[in-house]
Every structure is written in C-alpha cells, then in structure tokens.
Amino acid sequence: MRETFTKGMARNIYYGGGIFFFLVLIGLTVDTVNRLPATDNRENLSEQVIAGKRLWEVNNCIGCHSLLGEGAYFAPELANVYTRFGESTEAIKAFIKYRPVDGVEGRRSMPQFNLTDEELEELAQFLKYVDGIKTARNWPPNIQG
C-alpha cells in the first residue's frame, strides 16, 4: 500500500469503524426487540408451549430438523409443520408417537423418543406456536418448507 496511507490511519479506521458499527448493531437490536411483539406470537406462549420448547431442546430435534430454516438439513423444516399437517396437533402427535424403535430399513427414520401423551401435547403446541410466528414474506416459500 502507498505511503500516503499510514498505519495510524488504518488503526483509526479499525477502532472507529469497529466501535461505530458495534453501536449501530446495538441500536438496531434495541429497535428490533421493541418491534417483536407485532410478529413473534408471544401471546400464545403458554406454559404448555414453554414446556414444549424445553422438550424440543432436550431431545435435540435441531440435530436433524430445521426450524425457521436454522438447524440441520437432514429432516424436514418444522416451522410450518402445523400447516403442512392440516393444522392438526393430533397428526403431529401421532407421527412422533409411532416412530419404529429400530427405524426403517435403508431409510432415514426419526428415533422413538418415548414421550408421554402430555409431553406429545406440549411439543405439538410448541410447533403450533412456531407456525404462528409472522416471518417476513411469510417464509418458508411454500408448504413443503
């Protein structure tokens, strides 16, 4: 680089730019958090849904599935599974409940998690709540996720 551009100038751009854009990120974060009530479906965060989120976590569902497009890409997107399953929590519960213990020969299969009926309901309610989150452009693009 040319001599007119000194190390001191480079350093100032680093500190100035870094600090400035960190503050921008914080500002945008505050604004985003303030706007969340309009989209994040918090009115449906019931005790059941909260318990369902914990079940989602402790069974590592994200290790195969994606949720709002984040996670693994080994198994279907689940942010819209409630819609895909005909808006039926019963269908979601039945799917999880009847997974074969030893899997399906040659195919990907979801493990049998041995959840109680109460837990199945909580997990289904969590997925219903996620389906109610208003995403930009109504992502995912279609019902297949």
Partner 1 sequence: MKYESQGIAKLYFIAAIALFVGQILFGVTMGLQYVMGDFLFPEIPFNVARMVHTNLLIVWLLFGFMGSAYYLVPEEAERELYSPILAKVMFWIFLVAGALTILGYLLVPYARLAELTMNDLLPTMGREFLEQPTITKIGIVIVALAFVFNIGMTILQGRKTVINVVLLTGLVGLAVFFLFSFYNPHNLVLDKYFWWFVVHLWVEGVWELIMASLLAYVLIKVTGVDREVIEKWLYIIIAMALISGLVGTGHHFFWIGTADYWQWFGSIFSALEPIPFFMMTLFAFNVVNKRRRDHPNKAAVLWALGTAVMAFLGAGVWGFLHTLAPVNFYTHGTQITAAHGHMAFYGAYVMVVLTMISYSMPLMRGQKAANVNAQKHEIRSFWIMTLSMVAITLLLTGAGIMQVYLQRYSADPLPFMVVQDRLAHFYWAREVAGLAFLSGLFLYIYSFFAKGPEVADVE
Scan residues 11-70 and list those touching partner 1 (CB under 8 A): 11, 13-14, 17-18, 21-22, 24-25, 28-29, 31-33, 35-36, 39-42, 45, 49-50, 53-54, 56-64, 66-70
Contact assessment for residue 129 and residue 79, using Cβ atoms and an 8 Å cutoff: no
Q: Does 83 bind partner 1 (CB under 8 A)?
A: no
SS3 at position 25: helix
User: Is residue 7 involved in binding partner 1 (CB under 8 A)?
Assistant: yes
Q: Of residues 89, 91, 97, 140, which one binds partner 1 by CB under 8 A? A: 140
d(CA 124, CA 145): 17
Q: CA torsion sign, 83 to 89 to 95 to 72?
A: positive
Site for partner 1 in 94-113 (CB under 8 A): 101-109, 111-113
Q: Decide if 49 contacts 124 (C-beta within 8 A).
A: no
Smallest gap, in angstroms, from Cβ of residue 49 to partner 1? 8
116 binds partner 1 (CB under 8 A): no
- Write out the two tokens for 24: 């921008």
